[in-house]
Structure formats: structure tokens, C-alpha cells
Amino acid sequence: MSRPTVVLLVEDNELNREMMVRRLGRAGLEVLTAGDGAQALSVMAAEQPAVVLMDMNLPVMDGWTACRRAREDEAIRHIPIIALTAHAMEVDRQNALEAGCDDYATKPVDFPGLLIKIEKLTRK
């Protein structure tokens, strides 16, 4: 059996984080977690996950900043990031893409849709 896809979930709300970990795990993914943007960058560098699911409203370092930093860092710039944004505003989408995210999903997350996005980004 091939190694399961490793996903890094960046989410500060522990209730949601726990739920997402269970749900992603149920879908056959291995899940790492981080609670803020700075942690996310160090886990990305150390564990090299296949994809990152990044909440944008994070303490310490927010998602936008974390994305831009990730794109400037040789060691992790190749890791695809899916932004999880709170609203479906066009500006949010633009901001996420400009910050270097590869895709985005609106909260509340459509889970099957999110799995497809993960699958698309990790297939390459």
C-alpha cells in the first residue's frame, strides 16, 4: 500500500481542527496540524506535506502573510496551499491567489469539494 497523502491543516479553533482531522483521516489522508501561520511554516519545512489547508484568520501570523512567506522560501515554495476563507467575496479570492495560494475554499467548507481540490493538487 502506498503511503497516504500527508495534509497540513492550519486552524486555530481546536473544535474545528479536531473535527477536520477526524474527517480528513476518515477520507484516508494523514493529517498534521498547526495553530498559527508561524507554526505552519516550520511544519511545512520539516514535514514537507503534500498540501496545506490554511485558514486565513490566524493568530501570531495570519494566513495571507504565511502564504507570501512560503512562496519566498526555496524549501517550501512548491507545496500547494488551499486557502480556507471566511466569506465568498471576490476580494478574498483575489487576495488568496495573490498571496500565492493555489486554490481556495469558502467556509463552511463543502467537504467533498475540498477533497476534489486536494486530489487535484496532489495528483501532479
Does 108 bind other proteins (CB under 8 A)? Our answer is: yes
Which range binds other proteins by CB under 8 A, 44-52, 64-72, 85-93, 94-102? 85-93
23 binds other proteins (CB under 8 A): yes
**Closest CB 29 distance from other proteins, rounded Å:** 13
Is 31:9 a contact under the CB 8 Å cutoff? yes
CA 91-96-15 angle, 5° bins:
105
Residue 59 · residue 40 · CB < 8 Å: no
HSE (side-chain half, CA atoms, 13 Å) at 100: 17
- Report the distance separating Cα 55 and Cα 57, nearest Å: 6
- Alpha-helical (H) ranges within the chain are 14-26, 37-47, 63-72, 90-98, 111-123
Interface with other proteins includes 97 (CB under 8 A)?
A: no
Is 60 a binder of other proteins (CB under 8 A)? Answer: no
> Is 116 a residue that touches other proteins (CB under 8 A)?
yes
Provide the minimum distance between the beta carbon of 87 and other proteins in the complex, in angstroms, as a whole number: 5
The residue among 72 and 119 lying less far from other proteins, judged by its C-beta, is 119
Which spans of this chain sit near other proteins (rule: CB under 8 A)? Answer: 13, 15-16, 18-20, 22-23, 26, 57, 86-91, 93, 104-113, 116, 119
